[in-house]
Amino acid sequence: MTRAQQTISLALLVSSVYLALFLELVPLPPAVQEQIVPVLPFWLLVSFGAYLLARLGYNVMTFNDVPEAHAELMAEIELAKKDLRTKGVDVD
C-alpha cells in the first residue's frame, strides 16, 4: 500500500467517524453532541497547525546539529568559487 493510499484511507476513516457523530448515528450526551462535535474539525485543524509549528521550531532550533551537512556545504561553496575563478569572476 502506497503512502497516498494510506493517507486517503485514514482521511476516509476519520471523515466517516466524524459524519457518524455529526449525524447523531452514535448516541452521545446532548451537551457533547451540541457543543463539542460541531467544532471538532476546527479543533483538529488548529491542533495540527500547532504540531507543525512546534516541529518546525524544533527543527530550526536543532539545525546546527548536523556538522556533516555543514562540511559538505562548505566544500561545495569552495568548489563553486574555484569554478568561478577559472571563468574570471571575482568571488572574494
Q: Give domain status of residue 92, yes or no.
A: no
**Residue ranges making up the domain that contains 36:** 3-87
Over pLDDT 90: what percentage of the chain?
79
pLDDT in tens, 21-40: 999 999 999 999 999 999 99
pLDDT over 80 (residue 92): no
Q: Give domain status of residue 46, yes or no.
A: yes
How far, in Å, CA of 91 to CA of 71, rounded?
Answer: 20
How far, in Å, CA of 32 to CA of 6, rounded?
Answer: 30
Q: Give domain status of residue 17, yes or no.
A: yes
pTM: 0.59
CA–CA distances in Å: residue 31 to residues 27, 34, 37, 43: 12, 5, 9, 17
How many separate domains does the chain show?
1
